[in-house]
Structure 1
Amino acid sequence: MKMFLKISISFLLAILFLSCIASSSQKKKNGDKKPNLIFYLADDQDVYDYGCYGNEKVKTPAVDRLAKEGMLFQNAFTGQAICAPSRSQLLTGKYPLKNGCFANHTSVKPDIQSMVRHMQKLGYEVVLAGKSHVNPSKVFPWDKEWHAIEKEDGPRPYIPLDSIENYFNTAKKPFVMLIASYYPHAEYFKVDNPKAEDIKTYPFNSVKKDDKGFIKSKAGYYRSIEEDNKQLEDVLNLVDLHLDTDNTLFIYSADHGVSGKFDVKDVSLKVPFVVRWPKIIRPDTKSSQLIHYTDVLPTFIDIAGGHATDEMDGKSFLPLLKGEDVAINEYVYGVRTNQNILNSEIFPSRMIRNKRYKYIRNFNSIEVVEQNLTGKPNVDYFIKRGANAFKDEPFEELYDLQNDPFEQHNLAKNPEYKTIKEKLAEDMFIWMKDQGDILNEDQGNMPIITPKGNKGFKLDQDTPRRKIPDSIKNTLKKGDYIVIEHW
């Protein structure tokens, strides 16, 4: 009997020991597993319109929850305030001029390797759920792609939650998932009897605070923000239910602002950027370091154990996520292209910004338009038209963002800031040259751009938003413009 007890105890201890080894091995295996990477992207929403960014009049509890559980970035930027160029930066690690998509509804260069290819090489599946707006397809060969879902009760399509949930349940490999919402982008919900006191205004739009049309539009916009927030909440619930949240990096952002769409002010280029990654990111933290959409791909590559390529503009901000308060970028940059989109006015701008100062050059300002004229009446018509469309915007702008965060006081002609302005301008032109920009420092350089073939973007043709005098229609000839071949 004693012998039996000794054998039984020894046997149980052996089982317990092996179980501990197996458990330890499994934990190690799970710990070694590459994290899932989810990026939720809203559409056309100002950074100022979130509870966690200071707007108490709009309801964003899901984004606010992420901020409490993770890190909120106070200085995150896109390089262009329009849909396709903003998303193309995010997915290539390159600014608009370098990746080739610097006008809306255009494509990146066909020889670029996007996030899809880079992350596939590192063992990831790369999935798109919702809005795309990036081309060509051979540069973005998603492993899986699900389109948005049309519903009768909303003005915009909805993200495909059923497909997302099914994938969370069946994924066999680590994955990158871009969840791209169509909200809050107009058309907005209709709100009955909106009240001015329910809308928060800022220095850049305070003159409209009593405008009924503005209040009605903003009320619908707020309601659309709330609808997107519900979608985000649903996604977060699915993540928490089906995935290992400790091993899932979740980023929320919006592609650019709506109040200054197309331009290069902070209301346009500064984006919300909130990151949750339990056990890596300390909860309820903030970072004021400059980061940029071009930094996202290098960061994902870094997390996956790879190395970003030298031609990428972005840098990994993984150290910030780990709690190191280190500078990632000295500058961020911005691009404005009004040609070949919507009203197609020739009014290009470039911007350079550090943590305190911003410099903008509007290359076809009314101040310098005479120097940009070519002597060809048909070409000069469009150059003058562009300058007159933005006649209140000066050739140079300089802002002290520490004391003037909403860019209301232009210091470009203030002699006390001459050295700062010249340094920023010099560094901006160095960057532009590196990007292969179509613009340069020389006065009189005002190129007209057009896509290869006739894609409805021709300056000398009518569009639904632009009417051209009959005497000017179809007068632009080869040699009057630069053809962007990959568009």
Structure 2
Amino acid sequence: MYKNIITLVFAFLFVSVLHTNAEQKPNILIIMADDCTHSDLPLYGGQNVKTPHIDQLASQGMTFNNAYVTMSMCVPCRAELYTGLQPVSSGVCWNHAIARTGTQSIVQYLGELNYRVGITGKVHADPRSVYPFEIVEGVEDNCVSTTAKYDAAGMREFMARDQEQPFCMVTALVVPHIPWTVGDPSHFKPEEFDLPPYLADNKETRTEFAKYLAEVEVLDQQIGETLALLDDLKIADNTIVIFTSEQGAQLPFCKWTNWNNGVHTGFVVRWPGKVESGVRTDALIQYNDVLPTLLDALGSTTKAEFDGSSFLPVLLGEKDTHREYAYFMHNNVPEGPAYPIRSVTDGKYHYIRNLSPENLYIERHLMARMPLNKYWPSWVFDASDDPEILDLVTRYQKRPAEELYNLADDPNEMKNLSNQKEVSGIQKKLSKELDKWLKEQGDPGAGLDTYEELQNARKGNHFKALND
């Protein structure tokens, strides 16, 4: 009799353990680069630098060929990732703006699911009431620092603190954001670079590009060390890992623009046992889709309304498409004089509308802040006797009202097809779709790109001037 009782007890305990393991929610690790142009990574065809840790992660998960941020600047794109909202919805329509009071972020949503949510490195998300992350020390948090401090002890402690409670850890690295002062560029041979066609080919550009690539190497090393923590703690098999390269580098035609190399982001998801290893997808996604996807994966029943939607079926191999269009916006204030831009892509064609084409485009960080950017003055100087460089300088600063590019044939967007008869139907369709999105978002367009609106938003009075 006692033997039967003991057998039943052990059987009950065994079943209980199995049930507990089955119910255990996965940990989440989000690793963000800072201003890394996706097309410079070997994963997306880059030829000038090696990134073995990123490549290995991709071999263990799913790589997204068509992932985008809505705004190619740090604060808005991080707000989008953390809230599942596009800029007008969150109120973060400018760099260094704060989210609307009452907005909820990944911290609250995962907290409701009993997650610990921490961040280490660059935060760039305000106010604290919207983003109450646990701050984990150890990783450089100043993106314009001349160093890139990396100490994994804080992350290790956070991850290992409570094996019974799942965690979400955001590791927000500051490389390869300018100034490009970390890493070792000496082993590169600038004269042998496969320089992207949107960059002026001169000595200064090649020298600075080498420094940028050295920081991409540091990025890859820090990613490798971060991923190693999961193996050391034996939790890799129960952790969803997301790597994203954020927006493009602080180079012309990348960050601060709506061009493809500004808004297109590298994006990889590893989830052992759920996401097939070494696969790629053409499914179109944006940062505002990430939070809804994570909540869907965790079985959340939240009734919250997001601009994004879950692409979990893509991750699980049940679908190969997600959204039909991705949308983009740019407000140049406070990084320069007003230069509002809106655009849309269906994954093949990209339609851009410059709302104030009569203005001269100026971005102060890229053009005027010496010695951080030594290449731009060399472009202006060399434009006097180099027609190709003159064309790049002119194209960057003086833009037409409309642009249209075939991303499949021209991913660097060097040939504007706007108003050409053979693509007029495509242009009209995308223009109509952009109008629809602006109306749905309540985006007034050029009226947002003012210092008055930014100052009102910083005081919590989003769009006050427009509503008065």
Q: State the TM bucket, normalised to the shorter chain.
A: 0.7 to 0.9
Residue 450 (structure 2) aligned to one of 443, 448, 451: 448
For 1:452 and 1:72, how far apart are their aligned partners in 2?
36
Partner of 2:78: 87
* 1:286 and 2:280 correspond: yes
> How far off its partner does 1:347 sit?
1.0
- Partner secondary structure for residue 38 of structure 1: strand
Partner of 2:58: 67
Worse-matched range after superposition: 289-298 or 159-168:
159-168
Cα deviation 1:419-476 (Å, max 9, x = unaligned): 2211211111111122121317xxxx6863425769999xxxxxxxxxxxxxxxxxxx
Change in 2 beyond 3 A, CA 1:290/1:96: same
* 1:420 and 2:454 correspond: no
Change in 2 beyond 3 A, CA 1:128/1:422: same
Partner of 2:35: 44
Partner of 2:383: none
For 1:367 and 1:340, how far apart are their aligned partners in 2?
16
- Partner secondary structure for residue 273 of structure 1: strand
Instruction: Structure 2: state its 5+ residue gaps.
Output: 362-393
Report the AA paired with residue 362 of structure 1: N
Change in 2 beyond 3 A, CA 1:30/1:263: same
* 1:249 and 2:240 correspond: yes
Partner of 2:221: 230
Instruction: Note the aligned Cα RMSD (angstroms).
Output: 3.0
Partner of 1:107: 98
> How far off its partner does 1:167 sit?
1.5
* 1:340 and 2:334 correspond: yes
- Tell me, yes or no, if the aligned pair for 2:97 and 2:457 is still in contact at 8 Å: no
Cα deviation 1:92-125 (Å, max 9, x = unaligned): 1111122111111111111211111111112211
> How far off its partner does 1:24 sit?
4.3
- Tell me, yes or no, if the aligned pair for 2:68 and 2:264 is still in contact at 8 Å: yes
> How far off its partner does 1:130 sit?
1.1
- Partner secondary structure for residue 350 of structure 2: strand
- Partner secondary structure for residue 351 of structure 2: strand
For 2:159 and 2:222, how far apart are their aligned partners in 1?
16
Report the AA paired with residue 168 of structure 1: M
Partner of 1:3: none
- Partner secondary structure for residue 422 of structure 1: helix
For 1:484 and 1:242, how far apart are their aligned partners in 2?
52
Residue 411 (structure 2) aligned to one of 373, 396, 405: 405
Residue 365 (structure 1) aligned to one of 354, 357, 360: 357
Query: Post-superposition, which runs of at least 4 consecutive aligned residues in structure 1 deviate over 6 A?
Result: 13-17, 454-457
Change in 2 beyond 3 A, CA 1:297/1:456: closer
* 1:275 and 2:269 correspond: yes
- Tell me, yes or no, if the aligned pair for 1:290 and 1:332 is still in contact at 8 Å: yes
Cα deviation 1:383-442 (Å, max 9, x = unaligned): xxxxx99653110011122222221221111122222211211111111122121317xx
* 1:355 and 2:357 correspond: no
- Partner secondary structure for residue 252 of structure 1: strand
- Partner secondary structure for residue 268 of structure 2: strand
Partner of 2:387: none
- Partner secondary structure for residue 117 of structure 2: strand
Q: Which structure has the larger Rg?
A: 1
For 2:86 and 2:158, how far apart are their aligned partners in 1?
31
- Partner secondary structure for residue 183 of structure 1: coil
Change in 2 beyond 3 A, CA 1:254/1:150: closer
> How far off its partner does 1:145 sit?
4.0
- Partner secondary structure for residue 300 of structure 2: coil
> How far off its partner does 1:79 sit?
0.6
Residue 127 (structure 1) aligned to one of 118, 131, 135: 118
TM-score, structure 2 length as denominator? 0.83
> How far off its partner does 1:77 sit?
0.5
Partner of 2:374: none
- Tell me, yes or no, if the aligned pair for 2:107 and 2:132 is still in contact at 8 Å: yes
Cα deviation 1:231-288 (Å, max 9, x = unaligned): 1111111111114222110011122111311111110111110111111111111111
Report the AA paired with residue 141 of structure 1: P
- Tell me, yes or no, if the aligned pair for 2:119 and 2:171 is still in contact at 8 Å: yes
For 2:43 and 2:410, how far apart are their aligned partners in 1?
21
- Tell me, yes or no, if the aligned pair for 2:136 and 2:158 is still in contact at 8 Å: no
- Tell me, yes or no, if the aligned pair for 1:124 and 1:174 is still in contact at 8 Å: yes
Residue 330 (structure 1) aligned to one of 317, 320, 324: 324
- Tell me, yes or no, if the aligned pair for 1:130 and 1:158 is still in contact at 8 Å: no
TM-score, structure 1 length as denominator? 0.80
Partner of 2:149: 158
For 1:412 and 1:394, how far apart are their aligned partners in 2?
9
> How far off its partner does 1:56 sit?
3.6
Residue 444 (structure 2) aligned to one of 433, 438, 441: 438
* 1:321 and 2:348 correspond: no
Change in 2 beyond 3 A, CA 1:437/1:35: same
- Partner secondary structure for residue 182 of structure 1: coil
> How far off its partner does 1:23 sit?
3.6
- Tell me, yes or no, if the aligned pair for 2:32 and 2:172 is still in contact at 8 Å: yes
Change in 2 beyond 3 A, CA 1:431/1:354: same
Change in 2 beyond 3 A, CA 1:253/1:368: closer
- Tell me, yes or no, if the aligned pair for 2:105 and 2:130 is still in contact at 8 Å: yes
Worse-matched range after superposition: 307-316 or 190-199:
190-199
Instruction: Structure 1: state its 5+ residue gaps.
Output: 1-6, 370-387, 458-480
Report the AA paired with residue 166 of structure 2: P
- Partner secondary structure for residue 240 of structure 2: strand
- Tell me, yes or no, if the aligned pair for 1:122 and 1:305 is still in contact at 8 Å: no
